[in-house]
A and B are shown apart, each in its own frame.
Chain A
């Protein structure tokens, strides 16, 4: 067994290394890290504008006038609704840093490229009219939000690659000696940005000759929609879950790897749900970032919170109990390295079974109860993955989410229990044998 796992580990390490070192995936992940805090703030404001308390809206309207919720909606509209702007900037900045070219000017060029791609046309429905008319002169918020996410990611990468190529070729304006560095820096960004603008504008022009009209519409229809629809299916989610836990079974941070591929898709799905939530429509998706963070992984990868409770209250061996004590506080915040490495679960064939199985079972069950409407779908409100269970469920789905997380905890406890018993007995026998040995001496 150990020979088999060793050789498998040897094969997995380079794969994980390749994914982690892929500069595009890494910069997309880092780029989102710039946007996520802002998105979270925006979501909190949206919640405050729509608190699910009867009479809240009427009360606020009486106290502050009929436009009271504008105060809460503006921060939301300036963050979540235009998240692609931050994503473009963040990805370009991060990728430029990877190539060691100037991050700020490159990110600014990427943002300009993104806006070149965006038609300055806004749909407007005049009062009394039945159909919307197209009005020019406005930046459409629609394409700045989740709908523009994939175009944004591609534009950022394209821009940085062009800039890198130009800089590498040495096509920059060189200043004579004695010119202040700040002046030289301003000029050195000129030519790369100009070439970016021309290339992007030509691409834009080409797309006006297609039935799609814009690259936004093209990417949204051909790439983003199929990918997110695929991401919203149960099989894709189960595969993602399996890979996550499978990598962790060898001590490799699986969520990190799977997240760098699935993150943008799950976030786009969450944003679409949030848009529907804001408009008061039915939520279109079940699988979102919060479905993953809150319902698939209670207490961290492998949904180990149920296991940790078992270790604390139902184990006899010192080893298991002491890891349980160590693991409970971080486990409440979905951090579980003490269990994974301390129990350990890593390379432990008995514990790997429930470790992979539990999130799969929880995923299927949560999907079913949400299809049946017993538990509310995640509203798309983005909360940190470290939010403790029950509170997390309450925030993303309301009371039904909190209750469901409690039920999930019980289910995961019982899946882990028989396996915990086996490992606990093994340790106990070892400990007793050691105690006998030391008595002899």
Chain B
């Protein structure tokens, strides 16, 4: 079970991605749990995550996010803006899977 955690400003727009990632995973027969939260609450939730992904609109918190996530050994990255705009669950899932492998 791969736990993917998404963060943006209020957790609203990333929450739109939850279903799309879960659907993509289901079609491929992969078990995932996806959640979305406001970035301010990252410290609270990061421990439960296997992979952390940021919405491109909060790309500027990446240094802060890296600090928080590296303490817990969780990989973190920013979702590509175009992929995000099209709410492309397949590509976000690909990104999460490749991050989890490393």
Taking beta carbons and an 8 Å cutoff, which residues of A are in contact with B? 13-14, 16-17, 20-21, 26, 29-30, 33, 97, 248, 251-253, 255-256, 322-323, 326, 330, 333, 335, 337-344, 346, 386
Contacts and interface: CB of A to CB of B under 8 A. Distances in A.
B85 A337 contact: yes
Contact of A20 (B56, B64, B84, B86): B64
Contact of A344 (B8, B16, B85): B85
B81 A253 contact: no
Contact of A17 (B56, B57, B64): B64
B16 A335 contact: yes
Given A251-B57, A323-B86, A344-B85, 15 more contacts: A13-B60, A17-B62, A21-B63, A26-B40, A30-B40, A251-B59, A252-B59, A253-B8, A256-B58, A323-B85, A333-B12, A335-B16, A337-B55, A338-B16, A341-B57
A256 B9 contact: yes
B31 to A, nearest CB: 27
Which DSSP category, helix, strand, loop or mixed, fits chain B's interface? helix
Contacts of A343: 85
A341 B85 contact: yes
Given A20-B64, A251-B81, A330-B16, A338 B87 contact: yes
Contacts of A322: 86
Given A17-B64, A21-B64, A256-B9, A338 B57 contact: no
Contacts of A97: 43
Interface in B54-80: 55-64
A33 B40 CA distance: 10
A361 to B, nearest CB: 24
B95 interface: no
A247 B56 CA distance: 12
Contacts of A323: 85-86
A323 B83 CA distance: 12
Classify chain B: how many residues form its interface, as a range.
20 to 34
B1 interface: no
Contact of A21 (B8, B59, B61): B61
B27 interface: no
Contacts of A13: 59-60
Contacts of B9: 253, 255-256
Contacts of B85: 323, 337-344
Top-9 shortest CB links A-B: A342-B85, A341-B85, A16-B60, A253-B57, A337-B13, A17-B60, A256-B9, A341-B81, A253-B9
A29 B43 contact: no
